Amino acid sequence: MRRFTDRLKETPSQTAGPYVHIGTTPGFIGIGGVYPADHGAVMVNESARGERITITGSIFDGAGAPLRDALLEIWQADANGLFNSRSERRGTADPGFSGWGRQPVDLETGIYRFETIKPGRVPYPDGRLQAPHVMFWIVARGINIGLHTRMYFGDEEAANAEDPVLARIEHKMRLPTLVAAADVSTYTFDIHLQGEKETVFFDI
Amino acid sequence: MRNAPTETGPFWPRDLDWHPKALTPGYKTSVLRSPQKALLSLPNTLGEINGPLFGHNMIGEFDNDLLINFARPGETAIGERIIVHGYILDEHAKPVSNTLLEVWQPNAGGRYRHVKDGYAAAIDPNFGGFGRTLTDDDGYFAFRTIKPGPYPWPNNQNDWRPSHIHFSVFGPGFAQRLISQLYFEGDPHIALCPIVNTIKDPQAIDQLTAKLDMDNTIPMDARAYRFDIVLRGRRSTLFENRMEGN
Ligand SMILES: [Fe+2]
């Protein structure tokens, strides 16, 4: 049996810096001719099952200014709660939906936007169902290690009320920082790096 | 002897003292961009244990050759020709195969091909400054490029970045997602750099420093640098989360 006392150290993180687009979304800054498209720009094809939704918002620094050089990635289950991943053992995820998306914020306005589908519910390790949610990972200049958070849906009050992750948040006044406001099929999810409305970030 | 495939177990927690802290005042931009409240620790759920799936069909033939992937036919980028290669492993030294590695960097003069970079150094018309590759079954990767130049940046009045290549790695679980920077052995700017020095442990900084690799240098052509990357490893699930009676 393998012993785990002599583990290697994980490679330490460094900031993605202001020029993250060159390596991750070159088309977004007008560099064509190398990749056919920006990886992660499209998550959904015509055959994807589930409700089409838009997730949009901004990321604010401690002075209340929107970040204009950030990159976001999201990862989520399909409409049936399955992940399009090689280690998904519960079934086969929807081939029309990648589950993973990557978008920069706009260089001028700081607004990001994902076109995706509403995810199904996924069990917690103890078997209870989590509320529908989307995992977020945020990198930018000045962020030394990528920030993990989750977006929950404002129109899923009953599911949110029994979600095992939300239940772990001791300061209940911080819960709204993880819940996106719903307007038909558009969900607005603003992220605050500091201040009274500081988003709950996770050590996963 | 294991009751679950290693691909489905939860990850070891991150050693957050090995990584830079969020708030590192020597790197001024972190001051307003660092969360001030404690991170909430979560057990890994299926979402963190799983991660997106990318196939070899997304990778173009020259995606890992920055010398030519943006250059006009028959031309190459200007600068010191180098090969950067190594293995992506997990914390148990197990190869991380078929995982996506993306890189980006400035040109030999320290200038990025980016609308927001106004540094005086000239753009190289034959250099885009980015590439990508998937590791093979042994976790091995290689790319060819030019050695990036140092460049000045607004922080203190005279801060210069060491030569560096930015990189992004996935791994099979979303919790392994990592972006960092590769430095080059012997560069005096490493010790002076406020971004490097967000990392406190000199051994951790050494882990980001690629080593000159004469054995794999191609005579009369390109020098090699060796750089291994370690992603989080999965815990043993041998006696964990086993329901009574199972
Ligand atoms: Fe850089």
Closest-CA residue of A relative to B198 is A144
- On whether any CB of chain B is under 8 Å from the CB of A147, the answer is yes
**Residue A29: what are its φ and ψ, rounded to 5°?**
-105, 20
Q: Residue B238: its pLDDT value, please?
A: 56
Q: Where are the alpha helices (DSSP H) in B3-134?
A: 30-33, 46-49
- A79 token code pair: 């409409």
For A106, other C-beta atoms within 10 Å of its C-beta total 14
Q: Nearest Cα to A37, choosing from A46, A27, A52?
A: A27
**Total structural domains within chain B:** 1
* Contact between chains at A14 and B181 (C-beta distance less than 8 A): yes
Ligand 1 centre from B203 Cα, in Å?
21
Ligand 1 centre from A63 Cα, in Å?
25
Ligand 1 centre from B182 Cα, in Å?
10
* Contact between chains at A75 and B47 (C-beta distance less than 8 A): yes
- On whether any CB of chain B is under 8 Å from the CB of A15, the answer is yes
Q: Which positions in chain A touch B242 (Cβ < 8 Å)? A: none
Ligand 1 centre from A33 Cα, in Å?
22
A20-192 CATH choice from 2.30.29.30, 3.20.20.480, 2.60.130.10, 3.40.50.2000: 2.60.130.10
* pLDDT tens track, chain B, 246 positions: 333 444 678 999 999 999 999 999 999 999 999 999 999 999 999 999 999 989 888 999 999 999 999 999 999 999 999 999 999 999 999 999 999 999 999 999 999 999 999 999 999 999 999 999 999 999 999 999 999 999 999 999 999 999 999 999 999 999 999 999 999 999 999 999 999 999 999 999 999 999 999 999 999 999 999 999 999 999 876 555 544 443
Give tens-digit pLDDT for B95-151.
999 999 999 999 999 999 999 999 999 999 999 999 999 999 999 999 999 999 999
Q: Which positions in chain A touch B15 (Cβ < 8 Å)? A: 9-10
Q: Which of A76, A84, A198 sits opposite B35 (nearest CB)?
A: A198
Q: Which positions in chain A touch B195 (Cβ < 8 Å)? A: 14-15
Which amino acid, one-letter code, is at A88? E
Position B36 in a domain? no
Q: Nearest Cα to B189, choosing from B164, B166, B157, B225?
A: B164
Q: Which of B85, B111, B132, B151 is catalytic?
A: B151
Distance CA B91, CA A185 (A): 42
Give yes or no: B112 in active site.
Answer: yes
Q: Which of A12, A107, A139 sits opposite B207 (nearest CB)?
A: A12
The angle subtended at Cα B172 by Cα B171 and Cα B176, nearest 5°, is 50
Q: Which positions in chain A touch B101 (Cβ < 8 Å)? A: none
Ligand 1 centre from B161 Cα, in Å?
7
* Contact between chains at B30 and A69 (C-beta distance less than 8 A): no
Give yes or no: B183 in active site.
Answer: no
The angle subtended at Cα B58 by Cα B52 and Cα B62, nearest 5°, is 135
Q: Is the pTM of this model over 0.90?
A: yes
* Contact between chains at A24 and B203 (C-beta distance less than 8 A): no
Q: Which of B85, B161, B232, B234 is catalytic?
A: B161
Residues in chain A: 204
Q: Residue A201: its pLDDT value, please?
A: 98
* Contact between chains at B130 and A22 (C-beta distance less than 8 A): yes
**What range defines the domain where residue B94 resides?**
54-230
Position B3 in a domain? no
A143: left (phi over 0), alpha (psi -120 to 50) or beta: beta
Give yes or no: B140 in active site.
Answer: no
Ligand 1 centre from B246 Cα, in Å?
52
Closest-CA residue of B relative to A148 is B175
CA distances for B211 relative to B82, B91, B141, B161, B187, angstroms: 12, 20, 15, 18, 11
Position B235 in a domain? no
* Contact between chains at A146 and B178 (C-beta distance less than 8 A): yes
Q: Residue B242: its pLDDT value, please?
A: 47
Distance CA A39, CA B48 (A): 20
For A196, other C-beta atoms within 10 Å of its C-beta total 8
Q: Which residues of chain A have pLDDT under 70?
A: 1-5
* Residue whose entry in the numeric block shows the structure tokens 């979402």: B47
* Contact between chains at B53 and A84 (C-beta distance less than 8 A): yes
Percent of chain B with pLDDT over 90: 90
Position B140 in a domain? yes
Q: Residue B239: its pLDDT value, please?
A: 54
Distance between A145 CA and the closest CA of chain B, angstroms: 7
Contact of B95 with B164, CB cutoff 8 Å: no
